[in-house]
Amino acid sequence: MTIADLRQQKLILFEAISGSRAYGTNLPHSDTDLKGVFILPENQFFGLDYIPQVANETNDEVFYELRRFVELLLKNNPTVLELLGTPADCVVYKHPLFDHFQARDYLSQLCRLSFAEYAVAQIRKAKGLNKKINHPEPPARKSVLDFCYVTVGAGAQPAEAWLAHNGFASSQCGLANVPHLTDLYALFIDHSPERRHGYRGLVRDPDTSQDVLLSAVPKGEEPVAYLSFNRNGYSTYCRVFREYWEWVAKRNTERYENTVQHGKNYDAKNMLHVFRLLQMAEEIALTGELHVRRPNREYLLQIRRGEFEYTTLLAEAEQLVARVEAAFATSALPEAPIKEAAEETLRWVRAQYYKADS
């Protein structure tokens, strides 16, 4: 089933322009996102193939089946709750039955989690982006040897620097475990021209190896030094390197270029939504009302344009989080929406729709 099918079969109960145009933070080049609610044909609903959601390829047009819509309302999902607070100029179509769903019947203490904690997650995401922008990973991946150190007197020296200083080749080296000591190895050198000991070197392949390489050492040989492999450091580096280049591959190029352009090294659009969500959460806690169209458009657009320092925004966001927590602590909102009432409304609306359609 496609969105075109929903329109053709007249299954849509509600359709609205969502996102920045509903919030009032849209710019001339902003996309037009559509969200809505539909109802499955009666025969299909009672069959085996329930369809909870229909979306287009870019996911900027999403319609929820009536049951799924109510399930998300009961969780105080921000995206779905916002449909019930859609400004009149953004409503594309509304079936009369949809008036039986009102935001006041669903707003609850769960909004502290769904709005505010989501915003906190976005703050963490912004911090991660800030770190990636300010600490990029070079494309050349480090090897195991970059995390190996050789004892020199009471200190240690990077393995490759130690080899170069002593005029040794890696192929001359043999490593053997030191009993009871993790990631510490006895280092042996084969000085014979023909490499008669058959040492295997320090790693199998500097570019691909994930560990050091052990050798069989002839009895009676004495180590010239000891080598320590910082395994945890190497593991952490590999994770950071992988995450960074995955982020580079998947990042939104336009938003990244905008971030670089304003020079503040944070995703400004992301931070706009942090403040929008936190402000909405505080309003919900204090007033029990949902206001989708934001009254402080210019302030939010200043954030969007990168006019504030990253540290300043983080400090303000953390203060706002504390205010939200305090507001919910004394709010008169119920702990959660009343499931029985929501289910009764769901059954009634569906029955009325099918009755009129028969």
Residue recorded with tokens 């299954």: 11
Which tokens go with 93? Answer: 């179509």
- Residue type (1 letter), 10: K
Determine what percent of the chain falls in helix, strand and coil, rounding each to the nearest 5: 50, 15, 35
* pLDDT at position 309 over 90: no
Helix 253-262 with 118-134: angle, nearest 10 deg: 70
Taking alpha carbons only, the member of 32, 28, 71, 33 closest to residue 52 is: 71
Per-residue confidence band for 208, with pLDDT thresholds at 50, 70 and 90: confident
The pLDDT of residue 248: 74
Give the DSSP letter of residue 88.
G
Q: What is the pLDDT of residues 268-283, one digit of tens each?
A: 788 898 999 999 999 9
The pLDDT of residue 133: 60
The pLDDT of residue 126: 63
| Cα separation, 16 vs 163, whole angstroms | 68
Environment class of 43 (CB within 10 Å of its CB; exposed 0-12, middle 13-18, buried 19+): exposed
Domain ranges in the chain with CATH number 3.30.460? 1-103+337-358
129/28: higher pLDDT: 28
Q: For 90-110, what is the mean pLDDT?
A: 97
| Cα separation, 306 vs 150, whole angstroms | 47
Across the chain, what does the average pLDDT equal?
Answer: 90
Q: What's the angle, vertex CA 200, arms to CA 199 and CA 203, rounded to 5? A: 140
The pLDDT of residue 254: 53
Give the torsion sign (CA, 111, 116, 117, 122): positive
Residue recorded with tokens 């600490």: 135
71/258: higher pLDDT: 71
The pLDDT of residue 11: 96
Q: What is the pLDDT of residues 169-195, one digit of tens each?
A: 999 999 999 999 999 999 999 999 889
Domain 1-103+337-358 has CATH 3.30.460: yes
Which tokens go with 216? Answer: 């069989």
The structure's pTM equals 0.65
The pLDDT of residue 130: 54
Least confident of 92-96, 157-161, 224-228, 243-247: 243-247
* pLDDT at position 125 over 70: no
Q: For 106-115, what is the mean pLDDT?
A: 94
Environment class of 311 (CB within 10 Å of its CB; exposed 0-12, middle 13-18, buried 19+): exposed
* Residue environment code for 3-36, b if the CB has 16+ CB neighbours within 10 A, otherwise e: beebeeeebbbbbbbbbbbbbbbbeeeeeebbbb
Helix 268-287 with 297-304: angle, nearest 10 deg: 150
Which tokens go with 83? Answer: 């449909």
For 58, the 3-state DSSP assignment is: coil
Q: What is the pLDDT of residues 32-42, one digit of tens each?
A: 999 999 999 99
